[in-house]
Amino acid sequence: MIDTPTAPLDDVGGPAQPLLSVRGLTKHFPLKGQLLGGSAGVVRAVDDVDFTVRKGETLGVVGESGCGKSTTARLLMHLIAADTGEIVFDGCVVGSRQLPWKAFRRQVQMVFQDSYSSLNPRLTIEDSIAFAPQVHGVARREAVERARDLLTRVGLEPRRFAERYPHELSGGQRQRVNIARALALQPRLIILDEAVSALDKSVEAQVLNLLLDLKDAFGLTYVFISHDLHVVRYISDRVMVMYLGQVAELGPVEAIFDAPRHPYTQALLASMPTMDPDRRTEEAPLAGDPPNPINPPPGCRFHTRCPHAEAVCKLKAPRVQAGSSSAHAVACLMHEPGSGHGRAARGDTPAMAQAAE
């Protein structure tokens, strides 16, 4: 760290070791209570979430508002502290002596949705990009030189743009600056929290192309959070579907989009507007809004809206079940052998659960 402030970081555990594994990540926000500190309850924003991100992949995270996808991103960056849970980055526990938070943050950077409020309005974009490397001990001249190089990489000509302030740029250009800033520390993982959601479609396509190019050029790994299922399908290798602070389903992008197993994922996909004027949607897959994450429903959190819900779903919380291939996991009692759900296999062999589908 001290001798070579921002040299590219080495791969520690080899390609087979996940870049990031998250175990039991939980964050409950207490609601403002009564006068004497009595608590009015908690928002269960993220509740016991497990997942891994493999080296070089793009993990898409989808879900509706209140499902905890942005909170998960902020917990990963330690922008807010988790209640419980462990984050392991390339074999090292984050926050331990081996990998303190500051060292971790050099390897993981984030791009936010609002390109304007995430830049300092009083710094030129060149200074914004050069800021973090200087914090980590790079000389100013070198940092500025690198910033100009990065501006070129993201398609903004330094001679025209380096001296500008954020308000002098368009939304797409500002988001390019944010991406360049995220790259300035040569990180290995970039978390993109709705990074293209605020952009117009034509600009969104440009930024998505840029993200793909940079991923190849710098060997990056992405966690791509979005509510836009089309974009997630396009950019992700694996997809995690969240519902009310928990993981509903996690698997390869083809499996999630072509053969979704969780009733929520099925409904979410069926809710996408069609592009075929002759096959318009005739019936909404789900009624009502997602429930409030304050006091979420007991048992399976989706049972209040689920078309297949039975009495047992109200009582018993499903555990995440690995399916036929261990890569495709689903948290639903229908896929949990012996759970008591009418559609679940009665025995304990996963093979029977598969056959019952």
Partner 1 sequence: MDSLAAAPMSAATEPLVALRDLHVSFTGGRAPVQAVNGVDLEVARGDTVALIGESGSGKSVTLRSLLRLHPAQRTQMRGEIRVAGLDVLGLSARQLADYRGKVASMIFQEPLLALDPVYSVGQQIVESIRRHEPVSAAAARARALQLFERVRIPSAARRLDAYPHEMSGGMRQRAMIALALACRPQLLLADEPTTALDATVQIQILLLLRELQREMGLSIIFVTHDIGAAVEVADRIAVMYAGRIVESGPARTLIRAPRHPYTLALLKGRAHGHLARGARLQTIQGSPPDLAALPPGCAFAERCAFAQDACRATQPPAVTLAADHLARCLRTEATAVAVVDPAPCQG
Can you give the binding site for partner 1, defined by CB under 8 A?
64-65, 170, 172-173, 200-206, 208-209, 212, 227-231, 233-237, 253, 257, 267-269, 271-290, 292
Comparing CB distances to partner 1, the nearer of 133 and 263 is 263
Tell me phi and psi for residue 222, to 5 degrees. -115, 140
Comparing CB distances to partner 1, the nearer of 166 and 172 is 172
SS3 346: coil
User: What is the closest distance, in whole angstroms, from the C-beta atom of residue 193 to partner 1 in the complex?
Assistant: 17
User: Interior CA angle at 112 toward 116 and 50, to 5°?
Assistant: 170
Strands 84-89 and 92-93: antiparallel
User: What is the closest distance, in whole angstroms, from the C-beta atom of residue 246 to partner 1 in the complex?
Assistant: 17
User: What is the closest distance, in whole angstroms, from the C-beta atom of residue 305 to partner 1 in the complex?
Assistant: 8
User: What is the closest distance, in whole angstroms, from the C-beta atom of residue 73 to partner 1 in the complex?
Assistant: 18
SS3 131: helix
Comparing CB distances to partner 1, the nearer of 3 and 276 is 276
User: What is the closest distance, in whole angstroms, from the C-beta atom of residue 195 to partner 1 in the complex?
Assistant: 14
Comparing CB distances to partner 1, the nearer of 254 and 357 is 254
| Exposure string over 9-27, b if 16+ CB within 10 A, otherwise e | eeeeeeeeebbbbbeebbb
* Beta-carbon count within 10 A of 273 CB: 7
Comparing CB distances to partner 1, the nearer of 84 and 274 is 274
| Helical (H) or strand (E) element with 159 | helix 158-161
Comparing CB distances to partner 1, the nearer of 105 and 238 is 238
Tell me phi and psi for residue 66, to 5 degrees. 85, 5
User: What is the closest distance, in whole angstroms, from the C-beta atom of residue 13 to partner 1 in the complex?
Assistant: 25
CB 236 within 8 A of CB 253: yes
In 3D, which of 166, 147, 172 has the Cα closest to residue 158? 147
User: What is the closest distance, in whole angstroms, from the C-beta atom of residue 228 to partner 1 in the complex?
Assistant: 8
Comparing CB distances to partner 1, the nearer of 15 and 277 is 277
Residue 140's Cβ-count burial label (10 Å; 0-12, 13-18, 19+) is: exposed
